[in-house]
Amino acid sequence: MKITEIETIPLRVPFAHTFTISQGAGREFIETLIVRVHTDQGLVGIGETQAWRRQGSAETIWNLVRTIKDYFEPAIVGRSPFDVAGILRTLDATLYNTLYPQAAVADALYDIAGKAVGLPVHTLLGGECREQVRVGGLLSLKPTVEELLDDAQRFHERGFRHFGLKIGVDPRQDLANVVALRDRFGDGVVIRVDANGALSYDAALSLLKKLEPYDIDCAEQPLAIWDLDGLAALARATSIPIMADESVSTDHTLLEVIRRRAATVVQTKIAKNGGMYRIWRLWALASAAGMRIYPGNHPSTSVATAAVAHLCAAWPEPLMEGVFAVGVSGVLAADIVTNPLAPENGEIRVPTGPGLGIELDDEKIARLRIDR
């Protein structure tokens, strides 16, 4: 079997409510790219990446499209879609530092491989260690504590028991939000906080010290992407474990986090880390270093959500209740598949069909695509 074409489908997917984190203005939509890798035997694989455009991502939707059409497609047409690792090496050599566009192509190759042999991707990756995966609810920044508590309450009623709380703009509000969550839910929920790299060292230390009494499971990316020494110092100065997210892209960057003991938790994302194959390597490295693993994603459709669900299903060791399903948990107002992966009772059921086990819905895609 040979690859014949990479089709790109750029989409603009609306957020259900304005999505606000510490970086940049609130957003009304996310631009996400679906690719369909075609083969000479009629099998088509799908993958997804995003134009996130915050720390760690300078991607726009159109440079994702151009990178894939102008550079990746000519480099891999004629290759076997089973040659995942070799193709990724070629893409790296073709255009350096392109994890975001590589992600969609790499995952589409696994989708083809699974469809070719009639097995779900997790079976190809290592087997089935889980049939469902517990996920966390993402609490984006809100104007008032009451609105934040309303969001948390809705998640709680849907069976979520793990919160990823955005922080990093106003430390007094951050503290008030944490206090309010503990007041409302007591010890019945796990709270993780995420500053998206917005804080100075001094501001982070001051805030985390105030949060220590509230049993925070970990603090995600408190400092800027480049400040690994700062993260390492912070990790020694507070009892709250530190998670690296934006600071980890390639395996080399994770290795540097490990060497400096800059974090004891790592978050991966399909787009940020270049797809399932590369994430599996990151998890192996993190696990060998004794780190905890937090499966994440930018807000994604069911396609990238399914990719992480397959990784989780195949992973034989513990995993945290990550935010990889945030897009399909209500943050995005639309999906593009016939069989959406919505969480039930706070859990995502791992797809069991061949490949990713996901079918695109042409009508839904027609409404959201921005190239025609």
Which stretches of the chain bind Mg ion, using CB under 5 A?
194, 245
Closer residue to Mg ion, CB minimum distance, 31 or 245: 245
Closer residue to Mg ion, CB minimum distance, 110 or 324: 324
Closer residue to Mg ion, CB minimum distance, 37 or 263: 263
Q: How far is the CB of 323 from Mg ion (least distance, A)?
A: 8
The whole-angstrom separation of Cα 205 and Cα 173 is 16
The whole-angstrom separation of Cα 44 and Cα 41 is 9
Strand 27-39 relative to strand 3-19: parallel, antiparallel, unpaired?
antiparallel
Q: Which residue is nearest to Mg ion (CB)?
A: 245
Q: How far is the CB of 264 from Mg ion (least distance, A)?
A: 16
Closer residue to Mg ion, CB minimum distance, 39 or 55: 55
Query: Residue 263: CA atoms inside 13 Å, Cβ hemisphere, count?
Result: 31
Q: How far is the CB of 192 from Mg ion (least distance, A)?
A: 10
Pair of tokens at residue 268: 């991966």
Q: How far is the CB of 240 from Mg ion (least distance, A)?
A: 15
Closer residue to Mg ion, CB minimum distance, 174 or 194: 194
Closer residue to Mg ion, CB minimum distance, 112 or 191: 191
Pair of tokens at residue 349: 């059921």
**How many residues are recorded in the chain?**
372
Q: Which residues contact 137 (CB under 8 A, 6 or more apart)?
A: 151, 152, 155, 158, 160, 162, 163, 164, 323, 326, 329, 346
Q: How far is the CB of 249 from Mg ion (least distance, A)?
A: 13
Closer residue to Mg ion, CB minimum distance, 314 or 332: 332
3-class DSSP assignment, residue 225? coil
Q: How far is the CB of 221 from Mg ion (least distance, A)?
A: 5
- Give burial (CB, 10 Å; 0-12/13-18/19+) of 11: buried
Where does 57-127 have alpha helices with state H?
A: 61-66, 73-76, 84-94, 99-117, 121-125
The whole-angstrom separation of Cα 209 and Cα 330 is 32
Closer residue to Mg ion, CB minimum distance, 48 or 194: 194
Q: How far is the CB of 195 from Mg ion (least distance, A)?
A: 9
> Which residues of the chain form beta strands (DSSP E)?
3-19, 27-39, 44-51, 132-134, 137-139, 162-166, 190-194, 216-220, 242-244, 265-269, 292-296, 347-349
Q: How far is the CB of 263 from Mg ion (least distance, A)?
A: 12
